[in-house]
Amino acid sequence: MPPALNHLSTILSDLLACEDVVKKAHAENYRFEERVGDERRRQYEAEHGPGGATHEEWLKSHEAYLWDAVYLDSPETPDTFLTINEAAQVDPAVWGPRGEKQELVRIEALDFALTHTTIGSVDRVQELLGIHNGDIQCDEVRQTEAKALLEKLCDSLNRNPNARRPRFAAFAEELSGDIGQTDWAERLRDRLGLAHLPPKEKFGPYPVALMRYTVEEVVKRAKKLDASIPLSVPTVLDSEPYEVFHPAPRQAPYGRTLNLAGDEADNDLISEVLHPRIDYRPKHLWKVGVIINRRDLSPERLAELRGNHISLLRRSTGRDDFGMV
């Protein structure tokens, strides 16, 4: 066995047996993953294996893999959307002619964009969005001026250092009940498992935007990249090891987000997909809001959420053996 493979095998065995919930989750996700094809896994393990038998060495080698194969932009195409990831592609019927009008949604943090533009606040974005959409009449700001400022906001989102990554998204129709509520930002933070978004103790209300666009727009972008897969199921090889992420069984047609509120039922698992980055325009800005309340993600709570989630995955797919190692 090559040293890199031996290191990874040792790391996984050690982490699965450890008491650190976060580290154990990283190992579980790799072992539970069923949507990474044999060739992609072989390349990952052979060419980007850890240099030593520690969790830190694995994180380092995994990050190198992401920058080599996943965090790419035109003219290069991430492995996520190439035939090497065919085992994780979403059913082509979803992004074919009959499915292209479906709307996708994604939460974007606005802290970077508000800092690097003259807009300054969520309230100001809300006002500009209202003027741009014709819902607000303002003598001081015309629609063209509002659009220009919103274009600067979108340009900042497009240039964000994280913008090169494949984008996680959900289907608007599945989340319509939450999107219509006044606390939609916190509801979607929970439903989509966005634990990396503040607020934390050092933050106040945290500004976010809800972006909306069509599958058709994603397909057009994929064609420009010569990508063979416009929509894929998220896997452990598409982002950093993340304890709130949980792979879905191969029988699931999409990824399934872990609900931070812990109140999901069998028929309430939210579908999640990955797609190539598209450039945002003002027309993609649907709503802006703030996240105020925090979620408890103590080790005990994280273990409980993951345990409940895998039980839901097993029941919803009829896979009682999923996640058995």
How far does CA 215 lie from the centroid of its chain? 16
Backbone angles phi, psi at 222, to 5 degrees: -60, -40
Is 78 a residue whose pLDDT tops 60?
yes
pLDDT in tens, 304-319: 999 999 999 999 999 9
- Report pTM: 0.93
pLDDT band at 115 (very low <50, low <70, confident <90, very high): confident
d(CA 19, CA 80): 32
SS3 8: helix
Burial class (CB in 10 A: 0-12, 13-18, 19+), 307: exposed
Are the beta carbons of 284 and 103 closer than 8 angstroms?
no
- The two structure tokens encoding residue 149: 């400022």
Residue 46: strand, helix, or coil: helix
CA geometry: angle 227, 231, 233, nearest 5 deg: 120
Q: Please say if the pLDDT value at position 296 is more than 90.
A: no
Helix (H, G, I), strand (E, B) or coil at 20: coil
Q: CB within 8 A of 303, min separation 6: which ones?
A: 21
Mean pLDDT of 9-34: 97
Give the residue-averaged pLDDT of 234-253: 97
The pLDDT score that the predictor gives to residue 5 is 61
Residues 156-173 pLDDT 10s: 999 887 788 999 999 999
For residue 12 the two structure tokens come to 């996984």
Angle at 175 between CA 124 and CA 276, to 5 degrees: 75
The β-bridge partners of 255 are 272
